[in-house]
Structure 1
């Protein structure tokens, strides 16, 4: 069973991305992380919900779902482009951090050149 600290680390990692903001467009129960107004991560905050949903390349998404029982098609999201990762410790933390980077990078790649240049430190 994951503890709150893993969810906290995931949220901190998302918020540490250049230009990332934490928003609550769906109510107080889901933290949504956005860059330039576009979602790249969703973290449910309910006591029983220990997961993060991340944008993912469709081919990689299918591969990850085959490798980890804790990675499933995005909950309430486009299942081709989103995965939900249950934070139960079965996905190595290093890989989880790479998936957060991947999700963020996918969203940034779709931004305009001007929007991307604003994100540079």
Structure 2
């Protein structure tokens, strides 16, 4: 199992910290901070790297328990991740999302597009 912070994760207030861990056919991205437009680059980069480096990848877990804020741009990033993985049949799983993530997704009608796990 390998865990690395994303080199593209911005520093400072409001930033999103992305930590990546790979275990066989699963890639886990642990997010902490704000899920906004600024999160697009580090998340897309981490997912692209995983898709390119692990041809047998079947599951990407987004651990969202430490996300403190999400806006519509953050929702768009999550949808982009779904679109990136769909052609290869890779499942995106939202793990432990707080109300800061679940409520906007529910209000936007996007909640049903994601698999959700408590842990």
TM-score by length of 2: 0.28
Larger radius of gyration: 1
* More strand by percentage: 2
TM-score by length of 1: 0.27
